[in-house]
A and B are shown apart, each in its own frame.
Chain A
Amino acid sequence: MSGADLAAHFLENAAKAAAGTHRVSGVEGLQGAIARIVPPDVPVHCPGVTEVEKAVAGLFADRRAEYAAAAVTVEEVFGAVAETGSLVCASEGGRAVQAGLLPSHHVAIVRRDHIFATLNDLFSAVASAPPTNLTLVTGPSRTADIELTLAIGVHGPEKLDVIVV
């Protein structure tokens, strides 16, 4: 599968799991998408560490260092898995994986060349030396504990947006 097909496959499966999906190219495309997705003036946590994050960190009027106090976390994540439509969030490089968990809206940016085709591809890449925390995130937080009726946003985000750049 080519990189473009892989991205399409990933976004299709992520959408099935109720994530908002976006595909952009270049810095302007990314900035435009963020401006559309993130409401102005809400407290945003953005680590601003990776190149991609640096490109968008300046867009937020109320940028917070603490994710627990933010309404939205905007970050680049380790990668994605096309087979399941999952984001791969990893603690590698001092990342706080829970930053994408506490705020009610998680906006995750994935670089197109960081998409794995299958779960096997991901785990054969990380299984020899896994980071402290590796979490596959597929859609928003959900439960069906009351009458098996789907409810969104239990302890994690009620809204998940993924952007492939």
Chain B
Amino acid sequence: MSHGQTTLSFRENSVRALGDDALRAAMKQAADTFGTRRADAFAPVTAVEALRDRASAIREEVLKDLPGYVERFAASAARAGATVHRAKNATAAREIIARILSDRGAKRIVKGKSMVSEEVDLNAHLEAAGMEVVETDLGEYIIQMEGEAPSHIIVPAIHKNRRQVGKLFAERLGVPYSEDPQVLTKIARKALREKFLTADAGISGANFAAADTGSIVLFTNEGNGRMVTTVPPLHVAILSIEKMIPSLADLPDFIRLLPRSATGQPITSYVSVITGPRKPGDATGAKELHIVLLDNGRTEILAGESRDILKCIRCGACMNVCPVYRTVGGHSYGWTYPGPMGLILTALLTGMAKSHPVVDASTLCGACVEVCPVRVPLVPLILQLRRRKVREGFSGPMEKRGMALFGKVAASPFLFALGQRLAALFWPVVRVLGGKDVAGRLPAPARVPFRRKAS
């Protein structure tokens, strides 16, 4: 993940993505599958809306006193025997973790999927310090081998098809080519098992942190999260401060919502609740547990107009339904978090100067708001950011003039009707002059406009 100050090239990336047939096929298949699975998973649940209301209220409650909950969590986790670290920004988080590992002479690190670790660009830093960092989630394992970043927060290698993975494994692991996901999965199991058993440390993220007990909670399907947190002698968990829930007793509603929203499963194969390191008499758990609480701009977001984005529980449902994400894929956004929640976080965490192009990556259709399990007001948040973008002078002069003109035309029934007629009249010319690029992407104007049919 690049953290330079150069502006994100959302537009250029999107144009490239539109020309990538393999990517578009993969994204289409994924979008269709996700839609069906999510709907099927929620179908048997009674009172889904009440469930979303409760979860939303719990997240609101946390944001009302986030510093208080973080304090309570830190105290509870310390009481349970964990060492708690506070990292103000990405640099601090990287340094804290590198120091914990190097002080104990850790050389081989196995890692579970953690978007927060991507946010702080942890792997590159640890590798530069001479450590071997092995991603163990299958999707992460694939993209690490390819030298890519995740393109989805739940399914990191969603942009790749089975033939690409088969070829990659054959080339890099020297195994016979196969494009059967079951065979490819077994290859990864075999390659990674030895890494787990010989690792000096495990690094994980966390989906939730319970303030009353100091527990961290991880949702996983593959079992790598359980390996990372129980097999090596040292476990380092990194999580951003807004992952708090007030009490472990609040977890059930999130177990009901998160996997259904994320992958369309009633529950993930594994939900692990980890409270402190191994204690006398225990036969489970790392001997040492370090929890790194990352702020990296959250406190600032909390004080501002976009605070509701901190309710997000990172299920990825909003990206799965987003017409922009589904068309251009996650890499086009250019930073750690893609899709509707992602573009909001990107703008807030990396600054408008760098991120203003991704603020445009939404049609404001509201499909994301429909599916968000904790009722994050995604569309209003995106509109706020667009207003800020204009206020701070990041919209181009052409865009401003065009919008001013459109405003005038749309406000006058006469001009609007005239515009529609002109568009239909000149379409054949535009189509010929513009060539395949325009004709392929722009829909032809209707001969009889909808408003005339409707009236």
Contacts and interface: CB of A to CB of B under 8 A. Distances in A.
Interface of A: 13, 16-17, 68, 84, 86, 91, 94-98, 101, 118-120, 122-124, 126-127, 130-157
Listed from nearest, the 5 A-B pairs whose CB atoms lie closest are A156-B223, A119-B252, A154-B222, A145-B139, A91-B284
Interface stretch (B157-165, B331-339, B414-422): B157-165
B232 to A, nearest CB: 11
Given A132-B277, A151-B185, 4 more contacts: A91-B282, A123-B252, A127-B247, A136-B272
Contacts of B270: 135-138, 141, 156
A148 B226 contact: no
A151 B271 contact: no
A143 B281 contact: no
Interface string B221-242: 1111011001100000000000
B269 A130 contact: no
B252 A118 contact: yes
Contact of B162 (A68, A126, A147, A156): A147
Given A96-B284, A155-B223, A156-B226, A145 B138 contact: yes
B215 interface: yes
A98 to B, nearest CB: 4
Given A143-B185, A148-B155, A154 B223 contact: yes
Interface residues of B, number: 68
Given A91-B283, A133-B274, A155-B192, A84 B255 contact: yes
Contacts of B223: 101, 141, 154-157
B251 A123 contact: yes
Contacts of A141: 221-223, 269-270
Interface stretch (B29-37, B322-330, B360-368): B29-37
A98 B226 contact: yes
Please report whether the interface of chain A is mostly helix, strand, loop or mixed according to DSSP. Answer: loop
Interface of B: 26, 29-30, 33-34, 136-139, 142, 155-158, 160-162, 165, 181-182, 184-186, 188-189, 192-193, 196-197, 210, 212-213, 215, 221-224, 226-227, 230-231, 247-249, 251-252, 255-256, 263, 266-279, 281-285
A84 B138 contact: no
Contact of A146 (B136, B185, B284): B185
B266 A84 contact: yes
Contacts of B272: 133-136
A101 B227 CA distance: 8
A140 B270 CA distance: 9
B222 A146 contact: no
A148 to B, nearest CB: 5
B162 A146 contact: yes
Nearest to A151: B185
Contacts of B162: 146-147, 149
B252 A127 contact: no
Given A91-B284, A143-B221, A148 B271 contact: no
Contacts of A144: 155, 221, 263
Contact of B285 (A91, A124, A126, A152): A91
B224 A148 contact: no
Contacts of A136: 255, 267, 270-272
A132 B285 contact: yes
A151 B224 contact: no
A82 to B, nearest CB: 12
A135 B139 CA distance: 23
A145 B224 CA distance: 13
Contacts of A147: 26, 29-30, 161-162, 181
A157 B158 CA distance: 24
A119 B255 contact: yes
B177 to A, nearest CB: 14
A155 B227 contact: yes
A123 B275 CA distance: 14
Contact of A133 (B26, B186, B212, B285): B285
A84 B227 CA distance: 23
A147 to B, nearest CB: 5
Contacts of A126: 248
